[in-house]
């Protein structure tokens, strides 16, 4: 395989630079068929894990966390701590009639929810999750994850336009304007990490953070880029919250603004796909933050616990989004765009320039 081609990997016990799953299980001896089976197996495991997390987060965890922040009682009747609300919501939403409004642009209307959900799932393909779990590790991994996650903007504007509803159209246009305004600061801030690591490859970025920043003998502080460059970490967090449409940047779908924005005319399975895509993007954003700023799967204990630490970091980012949802007021659309273009964009380029100077002096 050529140097730039992504490798299908899934192994256990080695946290960095994993080998092919085919080499580990014997499937590789079967040639192309074995590699395809290995790839599908890895994709199934990663996809199932992310879908399970989304299923827990949307119907149950979101309500419980928000209720704790706002001193209210959340779901508590269906099963222990109301956890069976996950099943109840799935049955309720999937059993509803899928109502298609008149005059919609049917191909775009049907395809938009799939684009929103699948763009996030593609991003997880290059994320090293620890315990050797990684589907592919191309040399341009960080660029790939930014590119595929940005495809969601296309799905949002498709949903807004195809719905034949002015509120939906406005919501879709607002979503695209927001994503354009914050995608650039997000990528530019991510490039400051690339300057430190010297690579776009996700496993290399994780490996670069495995060294000790400060060694105190018994305890050492890891060289996580959130500690090396906390300014970039805060910038990336802010841009990421805007990119996934979390408070205070949820104006495109805010009920106080334009009903439900681009998803106003969607119901049943289509609504579930858009809702699923929304939470998948939150977890993808958390996965990117954990990978490039928080050492990926690094944490105390043996290497096989890497996936546990990785999921803890992702859920930490998710809990922060719910805290912001309960504590921070929504900004107006003009304020939202101004913060992106006049605030984060300028600060992200300043951070990139400062990082380049520091790396040049160190080198």
Quick: pLDDT tens for 229-267.
Answer: 999 999 999 999 988 877 788 877 776 777 777 888 888
State whether the Cα torsion 179-204-35-303 is positive or negative.
negative
pLDDT at 214 over 80: no
Give the total number of structural domains in the chain. Answer: 1
DSSP string, 161-200: HHTT-HHHHHHHHHHHHHHHHHHHHHHHHHHHHHHHHT-S
Strands 212-215 and 220-222: antiparallel
Residue 109 belongs to what H/E stretch? helix 106-123
Give the pLDDT score at 216: 67
Return d(Cα 362, Cα 196) in angstroms, integer: 10
Model pTM?
0.86
- pLDDT range class, residue 21, cuts 50, 70, 90: very low
Give the pLDDT score at 292: 94
Report the pLDDT averaged over residues 203-227. 81
CB-based contact 158:169 (threshold 8 Å):
no
28-81 confidence digits (pLDDT tens): 555 677 777 777 888 888 888 898 998 888 888 888 888 888 888 888 888 888
- What percent of the chain has a predicted confidence (pLDDT) above 90? 31
- Is the residue at 4 inside a domain? no
> By residue range, what is the domain housing residue 183?
21-362
Give the pLDDT score at 29: 55
Q: How many residues are recorded in the chain? A: 363
Give the pLDDT score at 255: 67
- Is the residue at 10 inside a domain? no
The radius of gyration computed from the CA coordinates of the chain, to the nearest angstrom, equals: 21
pLDDT at 220 over 90: no
| SS3 call for 133 | strand
- pLDDT range class, residue 205, cuts 50, 70, 90: very high
- Is the residue at 267 inside a domain? yes
Give the pLDDT score at 46: 87
- Is the residue at 132 inside a domain? yes
Contacts of 254 (CB under 8 A, 6+ apart): 261, 330
- Is the residue at 80 inside a domain? yes
What token pair was written down for 45? Answer: 């495991």
- Is the residue at 89 inside a domain? yes
Contacts of 362 (CB under 8 A, 6+ apart): none
- Is the residue at 3 inside a domain? no
- pLDDT range class, residue 200, cuts 50, 70, 90: very high
Return d(Cα 133, Cα 316) in angstroms, integer: 20
- Is the residue at 201 inside a domain? yes
């Amino acid at each position: 395989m050529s140097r730039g081609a992504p490798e299908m990997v899934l192994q256990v016990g080695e946290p960095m630079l994993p080998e092919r799953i085919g080499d580990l299980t014997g499937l590789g001896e079967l040639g192309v068929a074995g590699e395809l089976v290995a790839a599908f197996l890895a994709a199934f495991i990663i996809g199932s894990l992310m879908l399970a997390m989304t299923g827990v987060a949307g119907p149950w965890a979101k309500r419980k966390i928000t209720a704790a922040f706002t001193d209210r009682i959340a779901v508590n009747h269906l099963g222990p701590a109301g956890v069976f609300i996950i099943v109840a919501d799935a049955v309720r939403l999937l059993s509803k009639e899928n109502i298609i409004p008149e005059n919609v642009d049917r191909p775009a209307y049907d395809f938009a929810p799939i684009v929103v959900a699948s763009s996030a799932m593609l991003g997880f393909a290059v994320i090293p999750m620890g315990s050797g779990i990684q589907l592919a590790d191309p040399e341009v991994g960080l660029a790939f994850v930014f590119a595929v996650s940005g495809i969601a903007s296309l799905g949002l504007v498709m949903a807004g336009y195809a719905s034949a509803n002015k509120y939906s159209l406005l919501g879709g246009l607002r979503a695209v304007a927001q994503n354009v305004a914050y995608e650039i600061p997000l990528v530019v801030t991510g490039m400051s990490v690339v300057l430190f690591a010297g690579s776009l490859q996700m496993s290399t970025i994780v490996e670069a953070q495995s060294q000790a920043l400060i060694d105190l003998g018994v305890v050492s502080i890891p060289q996580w880029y959130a500690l090396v460059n906390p300014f970039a970490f805060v910038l990336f967090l802010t841009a990421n919250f805007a990119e996934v449409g979390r408070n205070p940047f949820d104006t495109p779908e805010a009920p106080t603004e334009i009903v439900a924005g681009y998803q106003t005319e969607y119901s049943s399975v289509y609504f579930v796909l858009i809702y699923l895509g929304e939470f998948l993007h939150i977890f993808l954003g958390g996965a990117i933050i954990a990978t490039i700023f928080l050492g990926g799967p690094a944490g105390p204990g043996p290497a096989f616990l890497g996936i546990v630490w990785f999921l803890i970091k992702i859920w930490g980012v998710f809990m922060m989004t719910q805290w912001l949802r309960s504590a921070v007021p929504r900004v107006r659309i003009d304020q939202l765009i101004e913060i992106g273009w006049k605030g984060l964009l300028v600060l992200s380029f300043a951070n990139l320039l400062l990082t380049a100077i520091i790396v040049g002096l160190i080198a």
